[in-house]
Structure 1
Amino acid sequence: MTLSLRRDVVLNEVDDGLVLLDERTGRYWHLNGTAEQMLRELLAGHSPAETAHRLTAVPANDAPVDDEFRNRVTADVQAFVDGLVRAKLVTT
């Protein structure tokens, strides 16, 4: 799956993440740091599963990441993608 921002969606960096502005509607979405990381990985061409693996590869406390946790993160990334698609912010 290749994900890209729609032509009329503008991405702006802010201190605590990103803002996506849909110039067609004037609506905007504020993404926190985690959502920013997910979006950047997805826009770089990584699948939701690859994105989840990359996000959990180096845990903050250096503890190993189990499959159950990685599966939950994969589901969260997929839900994020689904939300972006529903909001018509990206194309796949």
Structure 2
Amino acid sequence: MALKLRPTVFEAETEYGIVLLDGESGRYFDLNESGALVLRTLLSGGTAGQAAQALTEEYAVELAEAAQDVEDLLTHLRTTRMVEG
């Protein structure tokens, strides 16, 4: 199953990245530019590996570190129930 925002979660682009707001719980999550890049990659059907690769191409970060950052973000998004899949 591809990653997608839960139906009650809304996103808004900001000058600094993306803000996610869960209309049901009132919780919000602010993603910086690198987090927004990861989320966009995943929501467009990319894999965690592709998101990590996108980070290495955009920022000065090693692939192993980027992969861990992607996994950490995915864990947080799933734990806070911002995403499905």
Same fold (TM over 0.5): yes
Structure 1 residue 87 corresponds to structure 2 residue 80 = yes
| Greater Rg by CA | 1
**RMSD, matched Cα:** 1.6
Unmatched 5+ stretches in structure 2? none
1:1-92 equivalences under 5 Å are 2-57=2-57, 59=59, 69-92=62-85
Offset at 1:47? 1.1
Displaced runs of 4+ in structure 1, greater than 3 A? none
Query: How high is the sequence identity, in percent, across the aligned residues?
Result: 35
Aligned length: 85
Q: Write the distance in 2 (CA, Å) between the matches of 1:52 and 1:86.
A: 20
- Change in Cα spacing, 1:24 to 1:76, as seen in structure 2 (3 Å) is same
Unmatched 5+ stretches in structure 1? none
Partner SS for 1:10: strand
- Change in Cα spacing, 1:10 to 1:50, as seen in structure 2 (3 Å) is same
Asked whether the equivalents of residues 12 and 19 of structure 2 are also in contact (C-alpha less than 8 Å), the reply is yes
- Change in Cα spacing, 1:58 to 1:21, as seen in structure 2 (3 Å) is closer
